């Protein structure tokens, strides 16, 4: 008697995967994606916040240089022209996730204090929102905060 390999006993129409196997594989992939997506989303928010914080400190450094030369800080926004400050947070406006602006601190003049803001998801930069932190703020006294009301030191900064 000759030995036949097990696969040789199959009928030709039984080769491949069954619908049940395919559904089980898709369910497993779907569950793994459902588990991984929140972590990915949180990592992207943290990376975008890091982009904004870096831009805030870069603009603050530029503001300090401007103050040394002119004796006053400079207000700016995306609508301002002919100032040496970027109104976007990354290398180009289309790659940016935050719009930068600067104004006098509340109750102070421009020769005393400047408040720099990084606002996420405006119509001029990549549309995303940060519900946990909102707008990030840094002033010339190095006080940082956020508009969402969360503790800025624990999450946002």
pTM flag (> 0.85): no
Position 92 in a domain: yes
The ranges of the chain with pLDDT < 70 are 1-15, 149-154
User: What does the alpha-carbon distance between residue 67 and residue 3 come to, in Å, rounded to a whole number?
Assistant: 91
Q: What is the CATH number of the domain that holds 52?
A: 3.30.700
pLDDT tens-digit series, residues 72-105:
999 999 888 777 888 999 888 888 999 999 999 9
Q: How many residues does the chain have?
A: 157
Whether residue 90 contacts residue 53, with contact meaning beta carbons closer than 8 Å, is answered with no
Position 25 in a domain: yes
Helix (H, G, I), strand (E, B) or coil at 100: strand
Task: Give the domain range for residue 29.
Answer: 18-156
Q: What's the domain count of the chain?
A: 1
């Amino acid at each position: 008697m000759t030995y036949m390999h097990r696969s040789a006993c199959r009928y030709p129409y039984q080769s491949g995967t069954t619908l049940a196997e395919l559904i089980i594989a898709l369910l497993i992939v779907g569950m793994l994606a459902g588990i991984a997506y929140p972590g990915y989303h949180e990592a992207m928010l943290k990376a975008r916040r890091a982009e904004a914080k870096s831009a805030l400190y870069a603009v603050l450094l530029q503001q300090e240089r401007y103050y040394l030369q002119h004796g006053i800080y400079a207000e700016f926004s995306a609508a301002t022209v002919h100032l040496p400050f970027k109104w976007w947070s990354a290398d180009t406006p289309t790659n940016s996730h935050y719009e930068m602006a600067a104004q006098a601190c509340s109750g102070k003049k421009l020769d005393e204090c400047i408040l720099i803001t990084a606002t996420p998801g405006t119509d001029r930069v990549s549309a995303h929102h940060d519900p946990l932190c909102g707008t990030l703020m840094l002033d010339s006294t190095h006080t940082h905060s956020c508009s969402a009301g969360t503790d800025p030191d624990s999450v946002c900064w």
